[in-house]
Structure 1
């Protein structure tokens, strides 16, 4: 079963430098409506905390 886009975004965050890198990776993996799923302020804040900085 394919993972939900939000779950996958959280998994990718530690490997990425910024939110745009997460979006790019998700699109590359075939996820659609990436911008809409990652548009919320809370999800962006959560993902930002997990980024590889």
Structure 2
């Protein structure tokens, strides 16, 4: 059963830098998307305060 995963292991080892970069990019984008509502809130608050 585990022998079936050997090609995947080889692929992950050969492309570990690209996979790490892609995963890091996804995590960064998800974290940055949390700030968009805060920016909009601050903008609306600033407009309503004058």
TM, length-normalised to structure 2: 0.25
Q: Which of 1 and 2 has greater Rg?
A: 2
Q: Which has the higher helix share?
A: 2
| Larger RCO (CA under 8 A, 6+ residues apart) | 1
